[in-house]
């Protein structure tokens, strides 16, 4: 793990082959420690999954630059429209002339065609995007855990599911990647702050994600996780139904 900003504690760590987690710990008043993660997928056409909040842009930009070097970012992707997902989208577009927003078709239709300074590439459910030796595939997941436009990306070479807010763990002092259970800590977080929409489609959507057989779950908040991702997603479906 490399610290890229001493003051904020922003750090970067390779959680799967060529996939880097950029992490910034914070303290939220009244809620305690928390973390914001972004994931950089390195390839001929590098992709960043979620930008981080707009005010964190310099921290994330500097961390990304450590790995990118002279290469420029091609895709700025995100799950849904919130500050931590795409708050600095336009800053990234301004910094990278090759960079294009990458999101689901609902996000493009409802928000990003208007909000973004460069037209997005809008993805249909199941659509694949080649990055070079790798590809990512978009999976619509409306309202799971929240937002109509929500969806996720699976990186098919390393079986890394960029799972956004699913399995959000509180705390600011967590390892970059863990093989220990994260369901209980994420369920404890949900118990305190239930950010799920409770869509009736949750089980079917989690089953769709499970069908990609992920072995790394790239969580936006907390540790990334390594293990039987399908099993963990199904366990979450059971907990949501309980």
What residue ranges bind Fe ion (CB under 5 A)?
Answer: 82, 84, 165, 220
Distance of closest approach, residue 97 Cβ to Fe ion, in angstroms? 28
Rounded distance, CA 142 to CA 145, Å? 8
Q: Is 67 exposed, middle or buried (0-12, 13-18, 19+ CB in 10 A)?
A: middle
Q: Select from 159, 137, 140, 157 the least CA-distant residue to 149.
A: 140
Distance of closest approach, residue 28 Cβ to Fe ion, in angstroms? 12
CB nearer to Fe ion: give 4 or 169.
169
CB nearer to Fe ion: give 84 or 155.
84
Distance of closest approach, residue 202 Cβ to Fe ion, in angstroms? 15
Distance of closest approach, residue 151 Cβ to Fe ion, in angstroms? 12
CB nearer to Fe ion: give 36 or 92.
36
CB nearer to Fe ion: give 131 or 216.
216
Distance of closest approach, residue 168 Cβ to Fe ion, in angstroms? 7
CB nearer to Fe ion: give 131 or 219.
219
Distance of closest approach, residue 57 Cβ to Fe ion, in angstroms? 16
CB nearer to Fe ion: give 37 or 158.
37
User: Across the chain, where does the E strand assignment appear?
Assistant: 2-5, 10-16, 19-28, 32-41, 47-49, 75-77, 100-104, 121-123, 128-130, 135-140, 151-155, 160-164, 177-178, 216-219, 224-226
Q: Select from 135, 128, 129, 76 the least CA-distant residue to 107.
A: 76
Rounded distance, CA 81 to CA 234, Å? 26
């Amino acid at each position: 793990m490399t610290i890229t900003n001493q003051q904020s504690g922003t750090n970067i760590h390779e959680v799967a082959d060529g996939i880097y987690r950029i992490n910034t710990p914070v303290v939220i008043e009244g809620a305690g420690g928390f973390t914001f993660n972004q994931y950089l997928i390195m390839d001929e056409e590098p992709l960043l999954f979620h930008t981080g909040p707009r005010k964190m842009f310099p921290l994330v930009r500097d961390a990304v630059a450590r790995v990118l070097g002279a290469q420029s970012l091609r895709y700025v992707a995100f799950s849904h429209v919130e500050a931590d997902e795409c708050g600095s989208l336009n800053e990234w577009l301004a910094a990278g002339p090759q960079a294009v927003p990458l999101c689901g078709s609902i996000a493009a239709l409802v928000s990003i065609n208007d909000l973004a300074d460069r037209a997005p590439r809008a993805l249909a459910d199941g659509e694949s995007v080649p990055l070079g030796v790798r590809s990512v595939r978009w999976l619509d997941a409306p309202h799971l855990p929240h937002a109509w436009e929500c969806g996720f990306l699976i990186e098919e070479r390393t079986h890394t599911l960029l799972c956004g807010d699913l399995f959000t763990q509180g705390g600011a002092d967590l390892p970059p990647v863990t093989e220990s259970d994260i369901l209980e800590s994420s369920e404890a977080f949900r118990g305190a702050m239930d950010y799920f929409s409770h869509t009736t489609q949750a089980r079917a959507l989690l089953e769709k994600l499970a069908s990609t057989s992920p072995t790394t779950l790239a969580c936006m908040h907390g540790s990334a996780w390594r293990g039987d991702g399908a099993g963990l997603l199904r366990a979450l479906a059971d907990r949501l139904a309980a």
